Chain A
Amino acid sequence: MKERVVLGFDWFVLPFSIAMSFILIYIIYSVYKIFKSLSSNERRLVLSHIFSFEIFTTIWIIIKDTLLHVKIFKKNFWLGYMHSSIAFGWFMLIFIGHIEVMLYTPHRTAFIYYPVFFRYFVMEVEQTLRGGFFFFMMDLFLLIVLSGLVLAIVKRFNSKAVGMKRTTKLPLTDKIAMFSLWAIFPLRLLAESFTANISGGSFLTKGINSLLSGYVNYNSLLVPAWWGYSISLAIFLFVLPFSRYMHIPTEAFLILLRRSGVISRSYKGGYADAELFSCSSCGICIDVCPMSFTGDKYKSTSAYIIKNLRFKQNQTNLSLVDDCLMCGKCVEACPVEIDSTRLKLLYKQSKRNLNSSKLELPESKIVDKNNSILDSKKRYDIIYYSGCMTKLTPSIYRSFESVMTKAGIEYLHIDKEETLCCGRPLLLSGDIERFKDIVRANSEIILSKSPKTLIVSCPICLKMFREEYSMDNIEIVHHSQYMLNLIISKKIEVKKSSLEVVYHDPCELGRGLKIYDQPRELISKLANLNEAKQSKSMSICCGASLASTHLTTIQKDEIAYNSLENLKNGKELALITSCPLCYKTFSQVNSGPTMDIAQLVNNNL
């Protein structure tokens, strides 16, 4: 291997070199900016993480997620192959390119463009096994990248072919970046093939070279091909910071931050910026979003909201964010694990609490009347909080009360008459001040009884009590968990019926609190449990979620029908829920029987 160009320079390297220097400076600057906007405590977390043994696990996760895309492979083989072939293939091209330079032209290692245009600058003087091996590897990875590229192009024009119902619509910058990305590798193939009779090559480049040698005059096309390759790279790198491809450099940094234990505190700046930049607009969240079944609401899905938050922060996105059901399915499905529901919540809170001091609504006096529960001095070990939604579906708390009576347990139904909301809807709408009022009032009422166990029928309240209230030393359980314990400890006896049932995982109980198995265990003691098409972390929200304040009743019904179809899957099944809100929604659209888990237990006593 010998250098062909004496100075190791040709004018066509300029576009690439300038773009590469620009992007390196930009990345260093934005990493510095994100790092600077972290609080000092978070910075300490990150630094201590970097200098601990944990960092090796993090590096492995970074390789697994950003290069091999194991997570996407698990979800959809073709999508996984597409991403990992381009990402891993390209990385290997760069990596092996550098090794080649170090081995054959070590005095050029400092040249930023040398590994990229290596084959232009060298000529093959003798064929060696080592050289043949590197050429083969380069051609192999180029082929892998090209195969991924073909899939990407197919996906763009016909996303159904790779198993996606919908893919994202792209703005202009993304389109420019995408087309230049598509051009890079075919141009590289052409440039290397045209040079293959001088520099040498392997099965791909050499093959094309000898195939076309009769028809094409290499001498005249050689330099233009390299120019094209350099220019397409330059366009891609220049547009990168303003396009979705910014996820390529950011994702590794995001994983490092997440593994250090940093979370977003605002919808912009710091960790949130790392999350927004890491979104590749792949559109996986669009397909899983319950709203995408309503037709025109796909613009409110996470991919688009993240795009709006990143590029159009000044525009009002509140109505888009208010559509979201916050069911958390997009977070479960996201290959980058962007906590988009948290970002949306922070966005709502910052917009709704903005200038709240000037708000003319009077100070909330939610509890200006004395609660009779506070007046009585009797203490209870077990308290049952049914939640306001259960008041609309009294059969749930009546069934549970009947179970408790049969088990002979003394308890207090604390909000039977004087009901007060848990505060979740206010929190979700972004009104933190008034939410805190409710938390104070509820905590006072519940703690005045100094209970040991708090049983909650509503997963929404359960999530609030566990995460937002400070109720130390109180065991907070869902009524399904409590009834399962009653059966296990033989306080009640149940018989198994021959009823065929399917269980719906409520968003807050399942994805929210990761309680999947206990309700299933309880149901399988009472009836024959069937699994829905998409269940557990992929279960579909019933559509009545309290987070969405903007969807119309008709759109919510559409979501409910779609969710029901997924659950019953064309079979005659009784539907079991463990959330009063899901129960209320499904009983309105379900032609067959709908039951809460408490009713099922009560029926089989």
Chain B
Amino acid sequence: MDFGYNIIKIKTVDLDRIDKSLYNRVVFVAPDINKCIACGSCSASCSVSFYNSNSSFRKALVAIERDDITGIKESLSSCVLCGKCSLVCPRGINTRGVIIAIKDLLKEEAL
């Protein structure tokens, strides 16, 4: 029966229960990500955001902290590595290095 509305999917994240292993491995390869202040400059300058509004480095970092693999894939799948985000980052994070590290790790897990 359709009432014209439905109940949204619960998006609760239990921070005590999430698996932090992927995050820790990324930190090991690219310790830069601990410097992030989630200001969003990277998302604002993103080259592909016109074509894919989910494309965002900041979202990817949040997703990886919460061990949300689909979230990471959504936010990084369109990345063209143009590097504008690293040029605007006020914290000087080497964003492209982080993105490549995440992709390489995901690829390793997939094998």
Q: What is the interface of chain A, defined by CB distance below 8 A to chain B? A: 318, 322, 352, 355, 358-362, 364-369, 388-389, 391-392, 417-421, 423, 425-426, 429, 431, 434, 438, 544, 546, 549-554, 584
Contact = CB atoms under 8 A, between A and B. Distances in A.
Nearest to B83: A546
Nearest 7 A/B pairs, CB to CB: A553-B92, A425-B81, A421-B80, A360-B110, A549-B96, A388-B47, A421-B82
Contact of B47 (A364, A419, A429): A419
Contact of B80 (A322, A361, A366): A366
Nearest to A441: B51
Contact of A360 (B45, B73, B81, B104): B73
A527 B86 CA distance: 33
B93 interface: yes
Q: How large is the interface on B (under 10, 10 to 19, 20 to 34, 35 or more residues)?
A: 20 to 34
A367 B73 contact: no
A361 B52 contact: no
A361 B82 contact: no
A574 B66 CA distance: 48
Given A420-B47, A426-B80, A392 B87 contact: yes
Contacts, number: 104
Contacts of A391: 45, 47, 84
14 contacts: A358-B107, A360-B73, A361-B73, A361-B106, A362-B77, A365-B78, A389-B82, A391-B84, A431-B81, A438-B80, A544-B87, A546-B83, A549-B81, A553-B94
Contacts of B81: 425-426, 429, 431, 546, 549
B32 interface: yes
Contacts of B52: 365-366, 368-369
A469 to B, nearest CB: 15
B82 A553 contact: no
Contacts of B93: 553
Interface in B36-57: 45, 47-48, 50-52
B15 interface: no
B57 to A, nearest CB: 14
Given A362-B77, A426-B81, A549-B94, A584 B47 contact: no
Given A391-B84, A546-B83, A549-B96, 10 more contacts: A358-B111, A366-B80, A425-B81, A426-B80, A426-B81, A438-B80, A550-B97, A553-B92, A553-B93, A584-B87
